[in-house]
Structure formats: C-alpha cells, structure tokens
Amino acid sequence: MVQLREQSEAAEFFPSDVEYQGLLSKRSRRGRVVQLSFLLMLTIAVVGLGILLYTIIDDSFGLVAVVNQNEPEAVVSAYGYDPAVTVLDDLNKEQLVDVLQGSVSSGVGRRLEREERFFADRLVFESQAKWDEVCASDEPPSGCSGGVRSKGNVLDLVRERVIQPDIVAVNRLTASIFNPDGFKEEVETAFVENPSRFGEYTYDQVRYQWRAWFSWKFVTSPASDRPEIAGVRTAVLGSIWLVIITVLFAVPVGVGAAIYLEEFARPTRINDLIQTNINNLAGVPSIIYGMLGLAVLVRILEPFTSGSLFGEGAPNGRTIMSAGLTLGLLTLPVVIISSQEAIRAVPSSLRQAGMGLGATKWQTVRSQVLPVAIPGILTGTILAVARAIGETAPLILVGAASFITVSPSGPFSQFTALPIQIFQWTSFPQEEWRHLAAAASLVLLVLLLTLNAAAVIMRNRFSRRMS
Amino acid sequence: MNETPESTVLDPTAAPATADAVGGVEAADDGPGVLETRSMDVFYGDFKAVADVSMSFTFNEISALIGPSGCGKSTVLRSLNRMNDLIPTARVDGEVRYHGTNIYAGDVDPVEIRRRIGMVFQKPNPFPKSIFDNIAWGAKINGFKGSKSDMKDLVQGALEQAALWDEVKDKLTESGLSLSGGQQQRLCIARAIAVQPDVILMDEPCSALDPIATLRIEELMLELKENYSIIIVTHNMQQAARVSDRTAFFNVELDTTGQRTGHLVEFSPTDVLFTTPKEKATEDYITGRFG
Amino acid sequence: MTSETGVHDATMAEQLKRRNRPFERVIVGSLFISGAISIAVTIGILWELGSESLLFFREDEVSLGKFFTSTVWQPQAGEFGIWPLILGTLLITVIALLVAVPIGLSAAIYLSEYASPRVRGFFKPVLEILVGIPTVVFGFFAITFMTPLLRSIFGESVVGFFNVLSAGIVVGLLIVPLISSLAEDAMAAVPNSLRQAAYGLGASRLEVSLRVVVPAALSGIAAGIVIGMSRAVGETMVVTLASGAAPRNFDLAADPVFGYVLNPFQGAQTMTGYIAITASGDISYDTIDYNSIFAIGLTLFLMTLGLNSLSRRIVKRYRQEYD
C-alpha cells in the first residue's frame, strides 16, 4: 500500500490501512450474515419437507374413541370367561364362528360362507344340499374351490360384524402420546356440549383404543364407505395396473424416439420440429393431458379403451387403458429427454469403432450404444414412472373418481388409484377420512421410495457389470 | 503404378519405391493397387478442410500421412472409408477409388466399404464387452457363417496376427477394458483384422500409448503389411520414418478469406522424402523450420 | 503387375453395390414413428382443445368478448367470464413465487457457492425427495397443516377454511426444488475464471456470489423462475383441495381491491381447480359445462406455452453470452 500511495495519485482516494482493516471486517461480517441467511432459507425448505412427512405420520396413527355395538367383554363373558383375563383373541375358532352365527342374519352368513368356507368338514350357514346345488351351477362361488377361513379371518369378521366399532372421535399420534387425557376430556366435553353430534350414543359407551390407520390390513382391505374398515387394496391394484400400461406404452415409444433423435435424425426441419415439440410437451400441465385423455381416449376411442372391440366390456371408456395411456403420453417427453441424455453420454468412439468394422448404424446402436446407455435410460424411466404414479389431475379427468370397491381385473376395468383415493378422502369433511388419507399417502410414499431405491440398485448393478 | 494420375500435385511415376529402407522388406512398387484418390476435396459445411488430394495406395505397403496439426491428414484418412459420413455436414468432392470403384458413387454401400477398409482409432476404443466378443462381434454382424469352433479359430487367428494371443488366451471372457492401453490398441487392431479387410486405416494409433507399447504396435504394423495395405496418420515423423514405405506430407494454406485449407505437398518413398524432399515446404517441416 | 490402380474391377464394383436392408429400414421407420408420436400428441391437444372450445363459444350464452372481459364466472347463471379464474390462478402463482424465489435462489447460491461437499450431500437429496412427492400429498399437507396453522395465527374469522394463502405457500414449497436446481445449473455454468478474477481483485465470497456469479447467471436464473411460474400456473391438486371451488367473482368498481379482490385469506377457484372439480362429477359430453373446461384448458395451455417459450428464449440468449 505504501508504495502504491507514492506512485499513484489515485491512491489518495483509497482508504488508509486502518480504514481498510475496518472495512474488511465489516465486509466479512456482512458476508457471514448473508451466508447464514442463505443457509436459513435452505433450512426452511428442509423443515417444510420435515413437517410434511411429520404431518402424514402424525395422522397415520393415534388414539380413537369408539362406540362398540357389542362390547367384546360381553361376548367373552357369554362363554364363561373372565373379561379381565381373557380377551376376544383368546377364543378359539369354533367359539368365534359361534359368536358370528349368533349375531349375523342367515343371509349374510350364507354369503360369507359362499365367499370362503368356515370349516373344511362342515357347513355352518348353508345346508349341504343347497351347497352342492350352488357349487354345481355354471358360476360356482369362490367358497366352492376349497379354501377355509383362518382364525384371524374369522376374528376380523367378528370385529367387523359383531363388535361393530363406530369411531366417534380421532386424535393424532403426538397428541395421543403426550396428552391422551386431553383427548379424553375433549371427547367428554363434546358429549356434554353437543350430544346431538353423537346420535344415540352416551359417553359411557365410549372406549379409547390405539389405531394404526397405516397397517397391512389397510393395504389389503378394499375401499369402503365405513372409515373403520376402509382400505386401499382397490386403489393400489389400480395404480399397479396403471403403471404397467404406462410403462408398456411410454418406454418402447420413448426410448425409440430418443434413439431416433440421437442416432438417426439428420438436422432437417421435421426432426428439429420433433425435438422442439418434445421440449414443449414436457412443460404442458398434467391436467391438459387429462383433457386429451378425456376427449380422445375416453370418448373418441371408446370402442378400444372400453374393450368392446375385444369383446370385453366396461360400460364406457373410463378404464385403466385410457388412464394408463394418458399417463403414458404424459410420461413420454420425460422418458425421451432422459433417454436422449443417456444415449448422448455414450462415447462416440464406440459408435466409430462399430461403424468402422462395417456394422450398420442399427447394428452399432443395438449392440454397442444401447447396452452402455441402458443404466441411464432405466434410471430416468423409473423416475418418470414414479412421477406418473403420483399424478392425480389427469386421472380425475379420465374419470377415475368414482367409488369402486371391486378390484380391477384387467386393462379394461373401471378403476380407482391411490392418488385419487387420497384426493377424495382429503376432501371429505369428517376427520376420520383425513387419517385414512394420511395412511394412503404413506402407502404412496413407500411405493415411490421402493421404486426409487429400485432405480438406484439397478443403476449400480448395471454399471458394475459394464466396468 | 505406372499409370499417370490426372492429379498435378505429385507424379507417382517419378517416385518409384526402391528397397525398403526400414524393414528390409522389398518395396511394393509392383504390388496390386488398392485405393486411390482423385482430386478429392473435403468440406465441413462451407468450410473446405482439404483441397485437391490425389494419391494412390498399394498392397503390402505402409503409407504414412504427416503434417502440422490442422493440415487435414485425419480428414483425408476418414474420407478413405467414408467415416466422415458420420459427420452430418461433411461432404467429399472428387473421387476415391477402391479397386477401381468410386466409393462415393451413389450406388455404393458405405457399410460394405467400412468392412473392407478397416479403421483403428487414435484412442483405443474396445467395446465394453469380453475380449472374445470384441473380436467376434464384427464377424457376426458381417454374417459369419462358421460354427462355434470356427469362430474360436477366427478370434485366435486375429489375436495371433495382432500379437496379443499369448497375453490374453487365458482371459478371453474378461472385459476388453481390463487390458492395458497398448493391449487395448492391439485388441482394436485384431478386431479390425477379424472382418477380413484389405486396407487398414490407422489414425495416430500410438499417440495415447507409452514408448514400449508404441514399439509393439510398430512391429505389428510391419508384420501386417504382408497381407494388408496400411495407411497411418501420425504426428510423429520418426514413426513415419521407421515404419512407412511411403510418406505423404500435408500442409495448411491460408486462402485469401483466411480459411485454413489442407493440401497434399508431396507423396514420395519415405527415404526420399526424408532425405531429398522435392518441395521446400517439406524440407522446412522435416527439419523443424515449419510454421 | 497383376492389377493397376484405377483399373475398374467389375466384380468388386458389384460387391460394393448398395445393399437393400429391409430390416434396417423397418427399424429406422418405426423409430421415426416413435418420434413422430409426440407430434401427434401435440396435434391431438391442439385439436381437442380448439374444437371443443369452438363448440363452447358457439353456445348462445357465451361470447368470446364476454369470456375475456367479464369478471363473473357463474356457469349456473350463464355467466362465463374467465377473469375470476385467472385471478385465482395469479394470486396463487404470485404467493408461490414470493415463497419459492427467495428460498430457491438462496438455496441455489448456498449450494453452488458456499456448501462443502458434505453439506451438499445432505441438502441435495432432500430437495430431490421434495421433487418426488406427489402433488396430491402436498394438497393434503395444505389442508391438514398449513390452513389450520394460518387460521390459528390470523384468527378463524379472518382466514377461511379454503384460502389462497395456504394453497400459494404450499405450491411455493412445491416449486422450490425446481427453481433451486435450475438456478444452480445456471450458476455452475459460470466459468470459474470469472470467480477467480473477482477473488483476485480482493472481493469477498459474498461479493463474488452476488455481484459476479448471480449477474452472470441471471438469464438462466430468470428462465428457472419463469419455469417455476409455469409449474405454479398449471398446478392442480393443491389448489383444488386448499383454495376451494368458488370462483372469486368481482367488480372492480364496487369491490375493495385489498379487502376482497386480492384478499389472500379467502378462497378463490383457479383455472385448473375449475377443470378438476367440473370433471370429477359425472360430467356428460357436449354440455356447456363439458365444453367450458376445454376453453379454460386452452387458455391455460397457451399461458404455460407462452411462459415456457419465454424461458427458452431467455436461456438461448444466455447461452450466446458464453459462446
């Protein structure tokens, strides 16, 4: 600095060494403050994610207040057990069937038995003669094929049909852990202040129990209009069917288009148009694809998408086929773009080597370029498909929103899907459904996590084989 | 070799190859002609990369293309088996005759050309496959009809010709990428040989290799010229002097618009070019006074 | 001398003849068709949006002029002015950008200029997880967390159960990773020599980041923000769940602007929300309701298309800066 001052006239405009020291520390102080605020902002995003996951988990478990139509204690003591020692689970299968027989109408009983027998050696609700007749008919019910209900299955039936718990109030996980009494007081107050909300129930009937909304039973139970027994089996199966159709359409077409654009397309106007067009399509909102699906797949192509061309028949085009193809179209640009990137990353020396040996373009691409590009293509594709699974808006448009309890049987079935189920349950006013929506979200997130993990594992395995 | 080409740049009749100065092998002045360019121009888009190249190559000879960087020697090499087709903007004017047929004629199949005129690249580029498959693949796609054991013989033969067999015979199923750089390059040569070409183009095949590996490749080239016509691009004059029978010197010329276009200065027997070059530019280059 | 160069070898010429490779041609043909399907998709979208919109505008109750000028959307009463729906969309988009731009840019600057590899290794996956969460789950989050939170902060009398603010904040959270990753890419493209030059002049890290890197990457960052905006405009599930199903009809002359028209605490249906809600009922073909969603869809499509091409144009300019 000293020398500078002597040499340059401009030096007088610069701060002195002491001033400069002060300036420097001010600048670095400001630097630290701003850096911290950047970090703070980033943390907000992370915290946002944390709260989101927390909200879902918090709503997926918790205390519930139920009113049972029949108390399990009463059922147990009817068999001469002490309810303080013995619980419903301790009854054996014969006793449970007996309980069921004593409570449900014979019509319901017969239906249950035709679904699946209670015992291999005897019939409970149905006479032998009638059973033989039903089983000899053209369409014998599933019970005729010989399966027998397990004890756990009968227990579930007893809970569902005899105990018949009715959830009257729900609570969240953290509140249930840290302040269970608060919840109980709240329910009690509600009974005092607003008894009409609970119909004929009195507070004496209320029992508190833990409930895991997210459970294996939840995943395997069909949809229902009773939150106590509703599950997501139908929705999960619907989503799986959708993924199958989506993949079958988007992967071959998308990878094919990517190969064409990267390896064969000369820079002509039509090929430029295709490329620009794909980039544009990637930015089109998903709901627009839903409208395309509604107008073209559901409506115009109804003979195909309803399956009536093939002699199967959904009443209209609002089928898995329509929705799967809609999601396929939606996924297509993403698959193309990520596959293009993967293909572009293959060193051109491999292409030259292949062509230099007298291979045709396609031989080179198929045997040399694609094998190297596959890990990248797979990863991109799986991520694109994962996005498709979570898409809701297009499915609403192509008509997945109807209430369906029957599992889809094929691509031409009407259906519902996991995100649709979450959407519907979230928009219901009663709080119970909110918890079901949380549990369904958890199922969806687990599904996505599994897919992403599969993508990572597959990529690693492939790249190991390559090297 | 006694025909007089229409080209003006050099006169092959004036440059009869005499005894090979390097290998002591008899020069192929009377060997069958294979490949010939006639007034060849190469363009990239509007840019003329190489102008008016006329030269011919014969069997059992190694021809080296040398010259300063940017002189278009690699471009010329790639035009000889239509590898430049892979660059969308590339275009070739004039003729390249292979056994008398212009390979740029409309009815000629570039795929067929590349099988017959093989290529070895600057950087070794084995496929990420086993050593065996690296060699077998070319034969397979070119319709190899033999049995499994025929294929084994083919692979072994190619590896033996490339002087690699002894080093890899116990690990044919291992990835080609597991080999050292020099071995990889010999694998690429074996791969090129396996599809039965009669000309092999080599684009600076040793520039990525260490001296010992380079020596192996040079020895290999001298062995291979018994059966093939070899054309090699090299930036290394010593290498050209060591292995080639004839050498072509390319230079860059700035035209009036400032475009750099390469052209052939001189194509002579190697010993002649390096001892008594006809052109001043050649002499400047080989004595290190170019620029 | 067995053969001369240049002498025509007839058998060889025959062997070199171009082969017909039908298999190869079929393959390339089908690959081309795969590529061309995307064109068909675009044509399909344009055709279907256009033709159904045409039917909509042919209806007696509807006129093109009123559609683009009226500020009342009340299909039951035959009022079809798109402005209330655009208002809802814009309100939510603005709030979302107010949330996402500061967070997204700060995150990008921090990750690109400050973070150590270990810190990056933590935050990057988190942002990627955020990208992977379905929007309907964000919608659930808006309803069960954000809305109750806002209502407890500002009072239940001020904040409606359906409100624009909750939806906007959550949409903002949704597009944070998009904006931050695009901005980070733009900053990564700034040549290191520029940073070194600034450091060489005695600039601090903050000065290098904010005065050198960010301005140099500005067009890329701007493009990212525009893309984020386009995402917010097209977002459906969060707004359908959290912002309600009532269009905010307004009268600029009579209604207070801040108390009502721009009030973030009350609900307002968006374009996407209208489409989703209308279609989720059992909608019958060729009714005015059915046709109206396509007219809205066409408007939405043109808006997002405009935003996307705007961002591409910005990026193109930015590319030229460095070539």
Q: Where are the domains of chain B?
A: 19-126+201-286
Q: What is the pLDDT of residues A217-270, one digit of tens each?
A: 899 888 888 888 889 998 999 999 999 999 999 999 999 999 999 999 887 888
A373, closest residue in chain B (CA to CA):
B128
What pLDDT was estimated at residue C318?
A: 64
pTM (predicted TM-score):
0.84
What pLDDT was estimated at residue B256?
A: 76
Interface membership of B81 toward A (CB under 8 Å): yes
Q: Do A138 and A282 sit in the same domain of this protein?
A: no
**Burial tier of A398 (Cβ tally within 10 Å: 0-12, 13-18, 19+):** buried
Put simply, the answer to whether A353 touches B123 (Cβ < 8 Å) is: no
Within-domain flag for A149 = yes
Put simply, the answer to whether A393 touches C241 (Cβ < 8 Å) is: no
Q: Do A175 and A308 sit in the same domain of this protein?
A: no
CB A235 within 8 A of CB A440: yes
B85, closest residue in chain A (CA to CA):
A355
The β-bridge partners of A211 are: A62
- What is the tally of structural domains in chain A? 2
Q: Do A194 and A260 sit in the same domain of this protein?
A: no
If chain B, 291 residues long, is cut into consecutive pieces of 10 residues, what is the mean pLDDT of each piece? Answer: 40 39 37 78 89 89 90 91 85 90 88 89 89 90 87 92 90 91 91 89 89 89 90 90 93 82 91 90 80 41
What pLDDT was estimated at residue A130?
A: 85
CB nearest to A422's CB, from C37, C136, C297: C136
Cα B6 to Cα B38: distance, rounded to the nearest angstrom: 7
Residues from chain A that touch B175, judged by Cβ atoms under 8 A, are 467
What's phi and psi for A70, nearest 5 deg?
-130, 130
Within-domain flag for A333 = yes
Residues in contact with C189: Cβ distance below 8 Å, sequence separation at least 6, in sequence order: C217, C220, C322
Residue ending a domain, among A211, A246, A263, is A211
Q: Which of A410, A223, A230, A396 is nearest to A323 (CA)?
A: A396
What pLDDT was estimated at residue C8?
A: 63
CB C63 within 8 A of CB C308: no
Q: Tell me the three state secondary structure of residue B190.
A: helix
Q: Do A204 and A258 sit in the same domain of this protein?
A: no
Q: Which of C250, C232, C113, C244 is nearest to C172 (CA)?
A: C232
The domain C64-318 is classified under which CATH number: 1.10.10.10, 2.40.50.140, 2.70.98.20, 1.10.3720.10? 1.10.3720.10
Q: Do A244 and A375 sit in the same domain of this protein?
A: yes
Put simply, the answer to whether C5 touches B97 (Cβ < 8 Å) is: yes
Cα C104 to Cα A279: distance, rounded to the nearest angstrom: 23
Count the alpha carbons within 13 Å of C71 in the hemisphere toward its beta carbon. Answer: 11
Q: Do A459 and A416 sit in the same domain of this protein?
A: yes
Cα C283 to Cα C292: distance, rounded to the nearest angstrom: 11
A295, closest residue in chain C (CA to CA):
C48
The β-bridge partners of B90 are: B44
CA A69 centroid distance within chain: 33
The alpha carbon of residue B199 is apart from the nearest alpha carbon of chain C, in Å, by 14
Cα A136 to Cα A129: distance, rounded to the nearest angstrom: 11
Put simply, the answer to whether B108 touches C18 (Cβ < 8 Å) is: yes
In 10 A of CB B96, how many CB atoms?
24
Considering only CB atoms, which residues of chain B are within 8 Å of chain C? Answer: 1-3, 5, 30, 32-36, 56, 58, 97-101, 103, 106-109, 111-113, 116
Q: Which of B55, B1, B4, B7 is nearest to B28 (CA)?
A: B1
Put simply, the answer to whether A256 touches C132 (Cβ < 8 Å) is: no
The alpha carbon of residue C21 is apart from the nearest alpha carbon of chain B, in Å, by 11
Predicted confidence pLDDT, tens digits, chain C (323 residues): 334 444 567 777 788 888 788 888 999 999 999 999 999 999 999 999 999 999 999 888 888 888 888 888 988 888 899 999 999 999 999 999 999 999 999 999 999 988 888 988 888 888 888 888 999 999 999 999 999 999 999 999 999 999 999 999 999 999 999 999 999 999 988 888 888 888 888 788 888 898 889 988 888 899 999 999 999 999 999 999 999 889 999 888 888 888 888 899 999 999 999 999 988 877 788 888 889 999 999 999 999 999 999 998 888 876 645 54
Interface membership of B86 toward A (CB under 8 Å): yes
CB nearest to A46's CB, from C126, C206, C309: C126
**Burial tier of C269 (Cβ tally within 10 Å: 0-12, 13-18, 19+):** buried
Residues from chain B that touch A269, judged by Cβ atoms under 8 A, are none
What pLDDT was estimated at residue B286?
A: 85
CA A53 centroid distance within chain: 14
Q: What is the pLDDT of residues A27-74, one digit of tens each?
A: 888 888 999 999 999 999 999 999 999 999 999 999 999 888 888 888
| DSSP letter, residue A229 | T
CB nearest to B112's CB, from C2, C9, C19: C19
What's phi and psi for A254, nearest 5 deg?
-65, -45
Q: Do A305 and A383 sit in the same domain of this protein?
A: yes
For A102-111, which contacts have Cβ atoms below 8 Å and span 24 or more sequence positions?
A: A103/A70, A103/A161, A103/A162, A104/A161, A104/A162, A108/A161
Q: Do A261 and A161 sit in the same domain of this protein?
A: no
pLDDT band at A86 (very low <50, low <70, confident <90, very high): confident
Within-domain flag for A120 = yes
Q: What are the sequence ranges of the domains in chain C?
A: 2-57, 64-318
The sign of the torsion formed by the CA atoms of A200, A205, A206, A211 equals negative
Q: Do A331 and A399 sit in the same domain of this protein?
A: yes
Q: Chains meeting B at 3+ CB pairs closer than 8 A?
A: A, C
Domain range holding A417?
233-466
Residue of C5, C8, C20, C21 to mutate when probing chain B, most B C-beta within 10 A: C5
Put simply, the answer to whether C31 touches A260 (Cβ < 8 Å) is: yes
Q: Do A402 and A271 sit in the same domain of this protein?
A: yes
Put simply, the answer to whether A357 touches B128 (Cβ < 8 Å) is: no
Between the alpha carbon of residue A181 and those of residues A77, A177, B23, B232, C98, the distances in Å are 29, 10, 100, 89, 41
Residues from chain A that touch B111, judged by Cβ atoms under 8 A, are 355, 358-360
Q: Chains meeting C at 3+ CB pairs closer than 8 A?
A: A, B
Structure tokens at A378: 């797979």
Mean pLDDT (chain A) is: 87
pLDDT band at A133 (very low <50, low <70, confident <90, very high): confident
Residues from chain A that touch B158, judged by Cβ atoms under 8 A, are none
Residues in contact with A63: Cβ distance below 8 Å, sequence separation at least 6, in sequence order: A170, A171, A176, A180, A183, A208, A209, A210, A211
Residue of A24, A260, A296, A337 to mutate when probing chain C, most C C-beta within 10 A: A260
Cα A432 to Cα A427: distance, rounded to the nearest angstrom: 11
The alpha carbon of residue A401 is apart from the nearest alpha carbon of chain C, in Å, by 6
Which tops the pLDDT comparison, C282 or A170? A170
Put simply, the answer to whether B127 touches A353 (Cβ < 8 Å) is: yes
A372, closest residue in chain B (CA to CA):
B128
Full strand arrangement of the beta sheet holding B199-203: B101-102, B90-98, B33-44, B47-58, B260-269, B246-254, B62-66, B229-233, B199-203, B117-120
The alpha carbon of residue C22 is apart from the nearest alpha carbon of chain A, in Å, by 12
Residues from chain B that touch A354, judged by Cβ atoms under 8 A, are 127
What pLDDT was estimated at residue A460?
A: 74
The alpha carbon of residue B11 is apart from the nearest alpha carbon of chain A, in Å, by 31
How much is the average pLDDT of A338-363? 91
Within-domain flag for A171 = yes
Residue of A21, A278, A287, A387 to mutate when probing chain C, most C C-beta within 10 A: A287
The alpha carbon of residue A438 is apart from the nearest alpha carbon of chain C, in Å, by 8
Residue of B83, B84, B111 to mutate when probing chain A, most A C-beta within 10 A: B111
Put simply, the answer to whether C297 touches A444 (Cβ < 8 Å) is: no
Residues from chain C that touch B109, judged by Cβ atoms under 8 A, are 16-19
Angle at which helices C218-234 and C164-188 pack, to 10 degrees?
Answer: 150
Residues from chain C that touch B113, judged by Cβ atoms under 8 A, are 16
**Burial tier of A325 (Cβ tally within 10 Å: 0-12, 13-18, 19+):** buried
C17, closest residue in chain B (CA to CA):
B108
CATH dotted code for B19-126+201-286: 3.40.50.300
Q: Do A95 and A169 sit in the same domain of this protein?
A: yes
**Burial tier of C208 (Cβ tally within 10 Å: 0-12, 13-18, 19+):** buried
CB nearest to A352's CB, from B86, B137, B175: B86
The alpha carbon of residue B11 is apart from the nearest alpha carbon of chain C, in Å, by 14
Residue of A17, A42, A53 to mutate when probing chain C, most C C-beta within 10 A: A42
Considering only CB atoms, which residues of chain C are within 8 Å of chain B? Answer: 1-9, 12-13, 15-19
Q: Which of B185, B264, B233, B197 is nearest to B77 (CA)?
A: B233
